[in-house]
Amino acid sequence: MSTSTYGPGAGIADRADLVVVGAGIAGLTAALCAAESGLSVVVVNKGPSWRPDRGEQPTSTFYAQGGVAVVMPGVRSTGPDDVDSIDLHLADTLAAGSGLTDPAATRPILADGWSSVSALIGWGADFDRDADGELLRTREGGHSVRRIIHAGGDATGAAIQRALNDAVAQREADPGQSIRFLDDAIVTEVRVDDGRVTGVAYLQDDRWGVVHAPTVLLATGGAGHLYAATTNPSGATCDGIALALRAGAHVADLEFIQFHPTMLYTPGARGRRTLISEAVRGEGGRLVDAHGRSVTDGVHPMGDLAPRDVVANAVETAIELTGHPCVYLDISGVPDFERRFPTVSAGIRSAGLDPAGNRIPVVPGAHYLCGGVVTDDEARTAVDGLLAAGEVARTGLHGANRLASNSLLEGLVMGRRAAAVAVGRRDLRPAGTGPLATPGPLPILDRELLQDMMSRQVALRRSADGLAYAAETIASAPRRVPATVREVEDAALTLTAAAVIAAATARTESRGAHVRTDFPLTAEIGESHTFRLVDGEIRESGLAGITA
Ligand code: SIN
């Protein structure tokens, strides 16, 4: 790849076959697969260069606990309730998705799961195994059998991130396989010429730069920092949603922001909070209110292992009814808790609590964006050359409520498919000579103000009045030219909040992760709404059939 000064002191210009924006499971899987096919890849990474021992890591992948939901062919079953199949995994995914999961898109993703996981194991990911070397499997909400493989007990994401980064490091040393990182860099624009992607503009160390490429993959993760408290790391600021909207792509299902039922309750704390994995309930944990009563009794036949939207709402109801600020996860029935859940135990301890007390205070916390940039089954968006994979994308797998641990699986499968698309586009040469325009002024709301407003008006429960207030607040955002990473993020948060609010306002029913107090019923037929950016405004785009 050539590197040259771009313009008179304006920055740096590079070329690549593929630009990957984001360094989590989808992004690095795509980068590795593309490099193995001989493509030159640039990964634009918002975080610092990878070091496994950093206290805080930039990707949500790193913080994933529960594991990867995957059907393993020929796996030894441990009883009649433990016989798995793609059909059963599909049925569980459809049930959790509350009528909006697209079975035609979903089945092939689930069916590709095992080969993708096998490739990950080949890159060095070390999942937990029993004494006979069989992969251990756990259960989480909405799964009718044990099908979730895990690593390091509850450190699955950290193990995957480590394996992917180690595999990338080996390629970086191999002159035949080119993966180059731009660390501490944020993409400010996907460059599009005549409807076709030509690369990205980015900001790194106060310097602007460009990478010319025929294909750009958005793998930027989620949107947790729309809210004051979230299970997501600080980089989850909706960057890819904003980039895609500004490039002309469609988004859908953004109203379905999944709140995890069990985020550690720490009064008044902001930012990333400790997740208490659903696998804790899969291994015998029980949710009880302040008086010790079950939170989920009578709510759903699967009880504490009901789909996530159901349990999160049951927790919210218990908090309302008791007037107590949290509920408790009773872990007295979980064998060997600290050995099985070392990450959760460390998080509890660092909040000044002791897992041996057997009662963990928890509240629902913003966790996962079920919708996103609309893609087809090969990660293509509506913009020629722009791909999206992982949490930022909306493939149709998650519907209105993602089934636990389907996200790492989706990132792996769609990362591989995105790489295959990039391989097919390698000979398209972008013009790539246009000047690097500095971004124009964008609406940017103060981050804390935005997060507090979203936490009050657009969280687990919404109403027309609250949404109208939220829309007015966003409309009043002052405009300025983003000049720092933080300001680029704030502009992305502001635009995405506008899109989430528009989507939540348009959905006058309750479904999955979207609960309207003024429209409590679920419509008989569920459909997704698509939106795009037109003259700076979020407008419904009515994309038929929801393919990209
Ligand atoms: C968890 O471990 O509970 C989170 C898993 C997920 O979000 O899929």
For 14-52+61-72+81-255+368-424, the fitting CATH number among 2.40.240.10, 3.10.180.10, 1.10.15.40, 3.50.50.60 is 3.50.50.60
Residue of 308, 417, 447, 511 marked active site: 308
Ligand 1 centre distance from Cα of residue 413 (Å): 18
pLDDT value at 13 more than 90: no
Ligand 1 atom index nearest CA of 141: 3
**Ligand 1 atom with least separation from CA of 403:** 8
Contacts of 121 (CB under 8 A, 6+ apart): 127
Instruction: State the pLDDT at residue 410.
Output: 98
Question: Residue 285 pLDDT more than 70?
Answer: yes
**Distance from residue 11's CA to the centre of ligand 1 (Å):** 40
Q: Could you tell me which CATH class the domain 442-547 is placed in?
A: mainly alpha
Q: Kindly indicate the confidence band of residue 83, based on its pLDDT and cuts at 50, 70 and 90.
A: confident
Residue 205 has, within 13 A of its CA and on its CB side, a CA count of: 5
> Could you tell me the pLDDT band of residue 9, with boundaries at 50, 70 and 90?
very low
**CATH code for residues 263-365:** 3.90.700.10
Mean pLDDT of 505-513: 97
Spell out which residues line ligand 1, taking CB within 6 angstroms.
65-66, 140, 277-279, 368, 404-405, 407
Q: What is the pLDDT of residues 328-384, one digit of tens each?
A: 999 999 999 999 999 999 999 999 999 998 899 999 999 999 999 999 999 999 999
Q: Could you confirm whether 394 is annotated as catalytic? A: no
CA-proximal residue: ligand 1, atom 8 (nearest) = 405
Helix (H) or strand (E) holding 113: helix 113-122
Q: How far is CA 324 from CA 43, 230, 296, 310, in A?
A: 46, 20, 17, 20
Q: What pLDDT is recorded for position 1?
A: 36
For 447-471, what is each residue's pLDDT tens digit? 999 999 999 999 999 999 999 999 9
Q: Where are the domains of the chain?
A: 14-52+61-72+81-255+368-424, 263-365, 442-547
Asked if the domains 14-52+61-72+81-255+368-424 and 263-365 are classified in one and the same CATH topology, the answer is no
Q: Could you write out the three-class secondary structure of 170-234? A: HHHCCCCCCEEEECCEEEEEEEEECCEEEEEEEEECCEEEEEECCEEEECCCCCHHHCCEECCCC
Distances from the Cα of 335 to the Cα of 151, 154, 295, 347, 368, angstroms: 18, 14, 21, 19, 29
pLDDT in tens, 407-419: 999 999 999 999 9
Label residue 273 by pLDDT band (50, 70, 90): very high
Q: List pLDDT tens digits, range 201-226.
A: 999 988 899 999 999 999 999 999 99
Cα pseudo-dihedral 33, 39, 40, 46, rounded to 10 = -30
pLDDT score at 175: 72
Question: Measuring from atom 1 of ligand 1, which residue has the nearest CA?
Answer: 277
Ligand 1 centroid to Cα of residue 233, in Å, is 14
Task: Specify the ligand 1 atom closest to the Cα of 402.
Answer: 8
Q: Is the pLDDT of residue 5 over 50?
A: no
Q: What is the mean pLDDT of residues 1-12?
A: 38
The residue assigned the tokens 């680029």 is 488
- pLDDT at residue 517 is higher than 70: yes
Query: Against a cut of 0.75, is the pTM above it?
Result: yes
Indicate the range of 66-75, 189-198, 333-342, 360-369 predicted with least confidence: 66-75
Q: How far, in Å, from the CA of 251 to the mean position of ligand 1? A: 24
